[in-house]
Structure 1
Amino acid sequence: MTRVLLAEDQSLVVEGLKMMIETDEELEVTGIARNGKEAIALCEKQWFDIAILDIRMPEMDGLKAAELILNRWPNMKVLMLTTFNDDEYVLEALRIGAHGYMLKDADASSLIKSIKSCLQGGLHIQGEVAAKVIPKLMDQRQKHSKEELKNVTKREMDILKKIGEGKSNKEIASELALSIGTVKNHISVLLDKLELRDRTQLAIFAIKHQIV
């Protein structure tokens, strides 16, 4: 069973999201918080596989909570949820290392798909949001320098490209005829070589440096 933390300050929205999430028998909302501080407090008491955080909450917003969660519990996945189709929020969420970004008007199947994509190691940005944020990342693209990538092998470049496309470890393994363990090892090496913190930063690196 996948344990889900849901942080949202509006009661009706919480109940609706919980109901949608639990239509999938593999998912269970085992913690509900009304703000970022409550979310952190819950994480200190029990383990969650994924935290779904609203961007705007009182006392501590979702972006700050996400940053603290990812620093303290780096194996936990974080999916940001908002009503605001604002590319600046998305860019900040990606900078922090969030694994996905959804609008609250998503239907149950889209929400569940996003959750599972994040859990599998993919980077999921809802289509309407991606349509706004990807061009901004493209505008920031830089030609990768040979110096920066001098120690990256061809196989690692292939994997980096797939990460930039938002593929999960399972999808990368299937497309490149590798084991999931081998893909994970390559990703660890890439993070070390490029001095990046996490998979999200690898994806942004791939887009910015015209690898995708």
Structure 2
Amino acid sequence: MKKIIIVDDHPMMRKGLTSTLEMEPGFEISAQLERAEDAIDTIEKVKPDLIIVDISLPGMNGIELVKNLHFQYPNLKVLVVSRHEESLYAERALRAGAKGYVMKFEPSDVLLKAVRKVLKGGIHVSEEISEKLLLSAMTGKSTGLESPVELLSDRELEVFELIGRGKSSKEIAEQLHLAVKTIETYRSRIKEKLDLNNSTELVFHAVKWVESDGEG
């Protein structure tokens, strides 16, 4: 029996993932958690074979959690299942230590295929992302070179993407479970890192980046 932990801040998503995975013989959902910090505490007790992580979590976000897990438990297999576009986050998730990336809207069979592949020691991404990563390996350059992916922290990138999707600071704060003041601080850091002069330039570049699927 393979033990799986799910970390997602949406109860309905946790329930949906659990229902899908429990249809597969040999899978046991050992814990359903809302916060990254809870996962770190639970792993020692459960000793899971796989942990499924969302990117948008209250407090420590999913990419940060993946990094911490990879450092503390290098043999633990991690699969990111998120609503965030794979083209924007998959490479960063893999570099952090994840073994796969699946979009939340994908059919159940795609999720099950990814889980089985990761549990067997493989890496699961879509064919499109696989080609990008292969090109990156061949050229020796990151696919995100000279893009915000390389310049921003994990949380800054998340805020940048949401700005590019037309979200206000208040809406971003609500979605990420953070204070509006904190989001404004992130906006200031992003402008500084990307050498942008004002909020208009920030929105313009964020929208352009999202529309180009994070390629520049």
Give the distance between the partners of 1:119 and 1:65, measured in 2 at CA: 19
Give the distance between the partners of 1:119 and 1:131, measured in 2 at CA: 22
Give the aligned partner of residue 138 of structure 2.
141
Query: What displacement does 1:137 show?
Result: 5.5
The aligned runs of 1:53-202 (5 Å cut-off) are 53-125=53-125, 127=126, 130-132=127-129, 134-135=131-132, 138=135, 141-142=138-139
Once the two structures are superposed, residues 31-71 of structure 1 have per-residue CA deviations (whole angstroms, 9 ceiling, x without a partner) of 11102111111113220000000011111111111111111
Give the distance between the partners of 2:30 and 2:136, measured in 1 at CA: 41
CA RMSD of aligned residues (A): 1.8
Residue-pair matches, total:
140
Once the two structures are superposed, residues 83-107 of structure 1 have per-residue CA deviations (whole angstroms, 9 ceiling, x without a partner) of 1114231111111121100001122
SS at match of 2:70: helix
Give the distance between the partners of 1:139 and 1:27, measured in 2 at CA: 34
Which residue identity is paired with 1:83? R
Give the aligned partner of residue 13 of structure 1.
13
Query: What displacement does 1:18 show?
Result: 0.3
CA contact (8 A) 1:8 1:14 kept: yes
SS at match of 1:58: coil
SS at match of 1:102: strand
Which residue identity is paired with 2:110? S
Structure 1 residue ranges, 4+ long, deviating more than 2 angstroms after superposition: 132-137, 139-143
Identity over aligned pairs, percent: 27
Query: What displacement does 1:109 show?
Result: 1.7
Give the distance between the partners of 2:89 and 2:26, measured in 1 at CA: 30
CA contact (8 A) 1:91 1:133 kept: no
Give the distance between the partners of 2:93 and 2:50, measured in 1 at CA: 15
| Pair 113,139 (structure 1): closer, same or farther in 2 beyond 3 Å | closer
Give the distance between the partners of 1:140 and 1:118, measured in 2 at CA: 21
Give the distance between the partners of 1:96 and 1:70, measured in 2 at CA: 7
